[in-house]
């Protein structure tokens, strides 16, 4: 099979395969899949945001970069 025999469907399927593998790796390595923001109306308390990823769950206050709760084993207890 020479280079002249490569059809558009073959190239398209190859590009779709590469894109799906890249998406699979990116989705696996993303730290935050879901972001849940808990808003309080009390002026003395800060709002809380819970980040849920495939491997880690983290809860932090708004404006903070430190996790209050950093759970790396939460996925093993989920059915």
Q: Residue 17 has which token pair?
A: 């395969």
* Residue of 6 and 49 predicted with greater confidence: 49
Distances (CA, A) of 31 to 9, 23, 26, 34, 70: 35, 14, 10, 9, 12
Average pLDDT, the chain: 81
Q: Which range has the top average pLDDT, 5-14, 18-27, 62-71?
A: 18-27
What percent of the chain clears pLDDT 90, i.e. is strictly above it? Answer: 14
Contacts of residue 2, Cβ cutoff 8 Å, sequence gap at least 6: none
Q: pTM higher than 0.85, yes or no? A: no
């Amino acid at each position: 099979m020479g280079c002249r025999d490569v059809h558009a469907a073959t190239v398209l399927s190859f590009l779709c395969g590469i894109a799906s593998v890249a998406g699979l790796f990116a989705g696996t390595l993303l730290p935050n899949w879901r972001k849940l923001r808990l808003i309080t109306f009390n002026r003395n308390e800060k709002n809380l945001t819970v980040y849920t990823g495939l491997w880690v769950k983290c809860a932090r206050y708004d404006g903070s970069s430190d996790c209050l709760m950093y759970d790396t084993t939460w996925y093993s207890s989920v059915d």
